[in-house]
């Protein structure tokens, strides 16, 4: 076994406790994003950096850096300074990638705005972190971004570009619209790029500003889910995301000249860190099939760009495997990638390996607040580990499983997973109270239930808040979901609890059948009997065409639970 593999795999727990620490023999990279990109350009400047299939843009790494520098200089020319927050509200477009590197170049803090946000969510996000400049697409899918912004800031129509004063958005001054033209009160993106080209004074400041940046400076704010309250702005540093991108690239064994297909959204860590920064670390080509995920377009991109890796949440991989064009596509170039973002069913993993030929696919686990990945499988891990766990601890990361009192559990005993190390965020922006609740003595409380075994393999068994307590028995939804995925007629399953007067909670399963199948709910329960404990068998089974999802493809169990309670006439106990 090579030292590289040992570094990726981490070490076993000690003293029989569920506490693991990754290898530290290879030092962390103490660099900012601009210094990181500078070194990549020195090594791989003539290699293809980006391919945007929808627009036709193709850039080398040298061209990517030059374009990002132009945008950075243009932002300086607008009067933006280190520490100012710059929002981006856009699907996967070339300008998104430029904004990621350009803002980092001069110490601006990029604020990722979810493309699915509506007016109220946009208003909250921009005001919470004091966004001074907003880069936005005109529209995407069913969302008219410009119209929503004008609803919040009707003052935009009469404002001089760069001098917006809106009652409901008091911090926002600059609105930059993608494309060569713009609506009243906004700068065209191309004009800001031209400002960078025509402002030698601003451009001459780039190197001086970059030299004054620290790897520990905040560089990115990402909003976490607001299903249990207002969204929180997780604040990440250069050091956080650069090192995490490098670590996951090593786990996939990416090599210069390979190509990575990135259909996952850039506003999320999956796209901008595990995609963009991981690919950049090794001079790998970033291939973007389109502005949003489309299984057919993704399969075409893999074939025609000869991609060696592809990222996705489980539902994306399932959609590709079941697409009518799947059998027609030559996917022989594929070997690796990451499946993450939601529990990855073993049958689906095996299909990805066998039918897609992606035999070195990896599973990764993490969260936005940890930049994001803390556990990942290696490309040569045993099949049972790669299909049944989220791998072992990443280098320079420490994790433990604790009970409700904060005591470390023995190996094999479930509890809440805590994470520590370089990857933990600085905190939630302007929210010291919720930061103190989340990070205790350097440990990030993930809210996820996990089991770490004696070999250091980690299994995520659910969310602390999702754990079902039925008649005093703890039921972990992920365990039941994994079992149900073994049914030949079930494509996907989501399990959650609903109130019950006798047992406190009862088990409910929403099931998406395989194409052309329609399993009977009672037959599904019969499939469970004698194979899993009686208290884990779903009392309520609903067949559905699809699950309510976030834009990143995560099932929204709270919406399923609310719908089921309405249908059953239940109230909270």
DSSP state of 273: I
Interatomic CA distance for residues 178 and 94, integer angstroms: 10
Going residue by residue through the chain (573 aa), what tens digit of pLDDT does each one get? 333 343 344 578 978 999 999 999 999 999 999 999 999 999 999 999 999 999 999 999 999 999 999 999 999 999 999 999 999 999 999 999 999 999 999 999 999 998 988 898 899 999 999 999 999 999 998 899 999 999 999 999 999 999 999 999 999 999 999 988 889 999 999 999 999 987 677 767 899 999 999 999 999 999 986 444 578 999 999 999 999 999 999 999 999 999 999 999 999 999 999 999 999 999 999 999 999 999 999 999 999 999 999 999 888 999 999 999 999 999 999 999 999 977 788 888 999 999 999 999 999 999 999 999 999 999 999 989 988 899 999 999 999 999 989 999 999 999 999 999 999 999 999 999 999 999 999 999 999 999 999 999 999 887 787 888 887 787 878 889 988 999 999 999 999 999 887 788 899 999 999 989 999 999 999 999 988 888 899 999 999 999 998 766 678 898 999 999 999 998 764
Interatomic CA distance for residues 41 and 38, integer angstroms: 5
* Sheet with 58-60, edge to edge strand ranges: 58-60, 48-52, 285-288, 259-261, 309-312, 336-339, 360-366, 373-376, 392-393
Question: Tell me, what's the pLDDT at 535?
Answer: 85
Cβ(76)–Cβ(202) below 8 Å: yes
Interatomic CA distance for residues 79 and 174, integer angstroms: 10
Interatomic CA distance for residues 415 and 403, integer angstroms: 5
Question: Tell me, what's the pLDDT at 560?
Answer: 94
Q: Is the dihedral of CA 406, 409, 415, 421 positive or negative?
A: positive
Interatomic CA distance for residues 393 and 336, integer angstroms: 19
Element counts in the chain: helices (H) and strands (E): 19, 30
Please choose, from the candidates 13, 428, 451, the residue with its C-alpha nearest in 3D space to the C-alpha of residue 235. Answer: 428
200-211 vs 61-77: helix axis angle to the nearest 10?
Answer: 110
Question: Tell me, what's the pLDDT at 225?
Answer: 64
Please choose, from the candidates 127, 137, 131, the residue with its C-alpha nearest in 3D space to the C-alpha of residue 110. Answer: 131
Question: Tell me, what's the pLDDT at 572?
Answer: 62
314-321 vs 295-304: helix axis angle to the nearest 10?
Answer: 80
- Full-model pTM: 0.86
Interatomic CA distance for residues 302 and 322, integer angstroms: 16
């Amino acid at each position: 076994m090579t030292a590289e593999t040992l570094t990726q795999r981490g070490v076993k727990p000690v003293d029989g406790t569920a506490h693991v620490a990754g290898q530290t023999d290879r030092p962390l990279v103490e660099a900012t994003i601009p210094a990181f990109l500078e070194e990549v350009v020195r090594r791989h400047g003539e290699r293809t950096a980006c391919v945007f299939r929808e627009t036709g843009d193709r850039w080398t790494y040298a061209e990517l850096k030059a374009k990002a520098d132009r945008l950075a200089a243009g932002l300086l020319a607008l009067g933006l300074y280190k520490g100012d927050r710059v929002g981006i509200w856009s699907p996967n477009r070339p300008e998104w990638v430029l904004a990621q590197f350009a803002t980092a170049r001069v110490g601006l803090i990029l604020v990722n705005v979810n493309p699915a946000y509506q007016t109220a969510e946009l208003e909250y996000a921009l005001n919470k972190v004091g966004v001074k400049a907003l880069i936005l697409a005109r529209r995407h899918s069913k969302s008219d971004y410009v119209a929503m912004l004008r609803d919040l800031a009707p003052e935009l129509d009469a404002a001089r570009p760069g001098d917006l004063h809106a009652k409901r958005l008091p911090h926002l001054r600059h609105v930059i619209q993608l494309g060569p033209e713009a609506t009243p009160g906004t700068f065209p993106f191309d004009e800001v790029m031209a400002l960078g080209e025509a402002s030698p004074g601003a451009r001459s400041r780039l190197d001086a500003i970059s030299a004054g940046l620290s790897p520990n400076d905040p560089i990115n704010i990402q909003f976490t889910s607001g299903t249990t309250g207002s969204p929180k702005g997780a604040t990440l540093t250069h050091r956080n995301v650069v090192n995490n991108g490098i670590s996951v690239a090593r786990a996939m064994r990416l090599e210069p000249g390979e190509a990575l297909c990135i259909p996952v959204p850039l506003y999320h860590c999956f796209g901008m860190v595990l995609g963009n920064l991981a690919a950049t670390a090794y001079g790998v080509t970033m291939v973007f099939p389109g502005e949003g995920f489309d299984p057919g377009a993704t399969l075409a991109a893999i074939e025609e760009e000869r991609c060696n890796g592809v990222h996705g949440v489980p539902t994306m991989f399932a959609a590709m495997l079941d697409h009518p064009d799947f059998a027609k596509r030559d996917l022989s170039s594929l070997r690796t990638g990451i499946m993450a973002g939601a529990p990855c069913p073993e049958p689906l993993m095996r299909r990805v390996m066998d039918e897609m030929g992606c035999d070195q696919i990896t599973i990764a686990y993490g969260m936005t607040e940890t930049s994001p990945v803390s556990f990942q499988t290696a490309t040569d891990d045993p099949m049972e580990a790669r299909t049944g766990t989220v791998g072992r601890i990443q280098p320079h990361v420490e994790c433990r499983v604790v009970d409700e009192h904060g005591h470390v559990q023995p190996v094999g005993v479930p509890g809440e997973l805590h994470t520590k190390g370089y990857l933990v965020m600085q905190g939630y922006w302007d929210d010291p109270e919720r930061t103190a609740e989340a990070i205790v003595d350097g440990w990030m409380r993930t809210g996820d239930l996990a089991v770490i075994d004696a070999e250091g393999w980690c299994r995520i068994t659910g969310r602390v808040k999702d754990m079902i307590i039925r008649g005093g028995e703890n039921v972990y939804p992920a365990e039941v979901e994994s079992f149900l995925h073994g049914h030949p007629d079930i494509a996907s399953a989501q399990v959650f609890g609903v109130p019950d007067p006798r047992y406190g909670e009862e088990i409910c399963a929403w099931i998406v059948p395989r194409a052309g199948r329609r399993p009977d709910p009672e037959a599904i329960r019969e499939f469970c009997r004698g194979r899993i404990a009686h208290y884990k068998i779903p009392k309520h089974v609903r067949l559905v065409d699809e699950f309510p999802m976030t834009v990143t493809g995560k099932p929204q169990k709270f919406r399923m639970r609310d719908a089921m309670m309405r249908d059953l006439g239940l109230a909270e106990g």
